[in-house]
Chain A
Amino acid sequence: DSGVTQTPKHLITATGQRVTLRCSPRSGDLSVYWYQQSLDQGLQFLIHYYNGEERAKGNILERFSAQQFPDLHSELNLSSLELGDSALYFCASSGGAGGPNTQYFGPGTRLTVL
């Protein structure tokens, strides 16, 4: 158990809809990262937040947005969903006792868009 929690575990929705994925980092970690992993694909970095502020953006679509709240949990919002958005979405956290760079991944949210 990495200490990072993600909800929900599975999400099935229809095209055009909007969903919110939630992540709670490990205790003490200030950084939260979001990644997208499609079938047989690597980890595509989406966005990084540190202590409530956006620090870096990767290949994140304009239809996607994220935020990190004062209690350090983060939410990834996906809107106008398309079939191609079906993927595993991982959240990772870092910055605590494990060192500034080591990332601890949550179990992921599997999103299926029908």
Chain B
Amino acid sequence: GQQVMQIPQYQHVQEGEDFTTYCNSSTTLSNIQWYKQRPGGHPVFLIQLVKSGEVKKQKRLTFQFGEAKKNSSLHITATQTTDVGTYFCAGGFSSGSARQLTFGSGTQLTVLP
């Protein structure tokens, strides 16, 4: 079946350090979305990338979609304690249901003050 692999599973950083999580798919994605889940909370939509090579920024967060539309990354510059949570990528496959997403396993980010 369609799978989206995400690494690392866990990341501990010191406040102020940068953080990156990566997603890979063996097949071409139609789009990729990123979600954040705070401890004890529910996943919240962050952004969607659709175009090959697309880069989008939200303040300290930079999202990239690979040229082949098979990989994506989320980079956080100068982490803060408010960045704590689990970050999920979710890939949309054109061969699947038009609205169905396949979620990666998530990267749990801990920011040490």
Contacts and interface: CB of A to CB of B under 8 A. Distances in A.
Interface of A: 2, 31, 33, 35, 40-43, 45, 48, 50, 55-56, 90, 92, 94-95, 98-108
DSSP class of B's interface residues: helix, strand, loop or mixed? strand
Contacts of A104: 45
B103 A45 contact: yes
A56 B42 contact: no
B104 to A, nearest CB: 7
B104 A42 contact: yes
Interface in B10-55: 31, 33, 35, 41-45, 48
B102 interface: yes
Interface of B: 6, 31, 33, 35, 41-45, 48, 88, 90, 92, 96-106, 108
Given A2-B42, A102-B45, A48 B103 contact: no
Contacts of A92: 43
Given A56-B96, A56-B100, A99-B48, A105 B105 contact: no
A40 B90 CA distance: 17
Contacts of B108: 40
Contacts of B104: 42
8 contacts: A2-B42, A41-B105, A42-B105, A43-B43, A43-B106, A48-B99, A50-B97, A107-B41
A2 B99 contact: no
A107 B42 contact: yes
B105 A94 contact: no
Given A42-B105, A56-B100, A102 B48 contact: yes
A79 B47 CA distance: 36
A101 B31 contact: yes
B88 A45 contact: no
B88 A101 contact: no
Contacts of B33: 101-103
